[in-house]
Structure 1
Amino acid sequence: MRSKKKILRFFLFIGLLILLFATWYKYEYSMDKAKEFQVNATEYSRKLVIATQGSEFKNTVVNQIVNHFKKDSIFIKVVDISRLPDINPDNYTAIVLIHTWENFKPPTEIEEFINRTNAQQNKMIVFTTSGQGSHKMEGVDAITGASKMEDTLSYVNRIIERVNILMKHRTL
């Protein structure tokens, strides 16, 4: 009987360690809510929406993209990914999705938005960050990378290049 109690205590201890690790991991690596804002007049014919998660890296990427395009006649809207159900892709010339690969999958909001708007993937630029920098949704042409501040400019330039192509050839 004594050995059964020891085994039970051992497994309870292991379970507690796993729970503590999971709580720490979620707290340490979960994304913040992104700050939402708009730049330029909503009347412009070219419109860009950026849906992102909040982190130092992602905020830097978003700010550099916005700073690049704010001098142009482009309406820019930045939202948290939790607002994606409210986004109608018909209202935008280009859509930039910036998210982290979490728990071996994209955030539910990203996956549901891409599935809901599958016919309009040609106006989407997806940037997926992960620890290894290689994870992305199957069937989605995404820019992938790790959230390393020293690589910010490279990712920003790739996103800007793709947005420029969409803005050059389309208006609403």
Structure 2
Amino acid sequence: MNNLQFLRKFALIIIFMISVFLFFLFWNTQNMGNDINNSVNAESFNVEQKLLIITEPSPFKDLIVEGLKDYYKNSTVLIEVVNDKSIAVTDAAYFKAILVLHRWEANAPTRNIQSFLDKNESFKNTIIILTTSWNGLEKLENVDALTGASVMNNAPIFTNKLIERIDLILENKKL
């Protein structure tokens, strides 16, 4: 009888711990990415082209965004950086090029990213995607995207590859 009570208490403790873990996992997923500021970077008032960067906070993605801002700081390209959670109200037609930096999560992109891409399929020739995943190989089907793991030393390499693709779109050239 004593062993049965012990097993019940132990099972309840395990169930409670699993529930707490799942709660924090869900809470973290829902709240991740709330600390990106909408920022506009333009050194020139003569803005000819607009680049939208959709991202989520991570040291790797932040380093890429800073590299892009630095590259375009003396150009006539206006850069707007938005959080992946605020893209529902973003009009893709307003931008010449769109860069999506997102993580691969549970065998898919986040719901916000997938929804944005589905909603703006007609602009697919202006959208560039960098998908980060644990192994660096995961990406959306039938989408031309760069993929990689979030290795800080590789951020300059990805930044240069993204600049090449963005410049091609801004100059109306084919990839």
Tell me which interval the TM-score lies in, with the shorter structure as reference length.
Answer: 0.7 to 0.9
Structure 1: segments with no counterpart, 5+ residues: none
1:139 Cα deviation after fit: 2.4
- Report the counterpart of residue 111 of structure 1 in structure 2: 114
- Report the counterpart of residue 96 of structure 1 in structure 2: 99
The answer to which of 101-110 and 88-97 deviates more is 101-110
TM-score, normalised with respect to structure 1 = 0.85
Task: Give the distance between the partners of 1:5 and 1:137, measured in 2 at CA.
Answer: 50
The answer to which of 21-30 and 107-116 deviates more is 21-30
Structure 2: segments with no counterpart, 5+ residues: none
Q: 2:126 pairs with 123, 129, 148, which one?
A: 123
The answer to which of 156-165 and 78-87 deviates more is 78-87
Whether the 8 Å contact between 1:35 and 1:54 is mirrored in structure 2 is no
What code does the residue aligned with 1:15 have? I
- Report the counterpart of residue 75 of structure 1 in structure 2: 78
Whether the 8 Å contact between 1:34 and 1:54 is mirrored in structure 2 is yes
- Report the counterpart of residue 163 of structure 1 in structure 2: 166
C-alpha distance 135-14 of structure 1, shift in aligned 2 (>3 A): farther
| 1:85 matched to 2:88 | yes
1:111 Cα deviation after fit: 0.5
Task: Give the distance between the partners of 1:50 and 1:33, measured in 2 at CA.
Answer: 15
1:20 Cα deviation after fit: 4.0
- Report the counterpart of residue 152 of structure 2 in structure 1: 149
Task: Give the distance between the partners of 1:91 and 1:32, measured in 2 at CA.
Answer: 24
- Report the counterpart of residue 60 of structure 1 in structure 2: 63
SS in structure 2 opposite 1:57?
Answer: helix
C-alpha distance 25-89 of structure 1, shift in aligned 2 (>3 A): closer
SS in structure 2 opposite 1:169?
Answer: coil
Task: Give the distance between the partners of 2:37 and 2:144, measured in 1 at CA.
Answer: 26
RMSD (Å), alpha carbons: 2.6
1:87 Cα deviation after fit: 1.5
SS in structure 1 opposite 2:137?
Answer: coil
The answer to which of 89-98 and 2-11 deviates more is 2-11
Whether the 8 Å contact between 1:126 and 1:142 is mirrored in structure 2 is yes
SS in structure 2 opposite 1:58?
Answer: helix
1:91 Cα deviation after fit: 0.9
Task: Give the distance between the partners of 1:38 and 1:116, measured in 2 at CA.
Answer: 24
- Report the counterpart of residue 15 of structure 1 in structure 2: 15
Task: Give the distance between the partners of 1:25 and 1:146, measured in 2 at CA.
Answer: 23
Whether the 8 Å contact between 2:33 and 2:83 is mirrored in structure 1 is no
What code does the residue aligned with 1:159 have? L
- Report the counterpart of residue 35 of structure 1 in structure 2: 37
The answer to which of 109-118 and 69-78 deviates more is 69-78
1:42 Cα deviation after fit: 7.0
The answer to which of 83-92 and 21-30 deviates more is 21-30
What code does the residue aligned with 2:38 have? E
The answer to which of 65-74 and 133-142 deviates more is 133-142
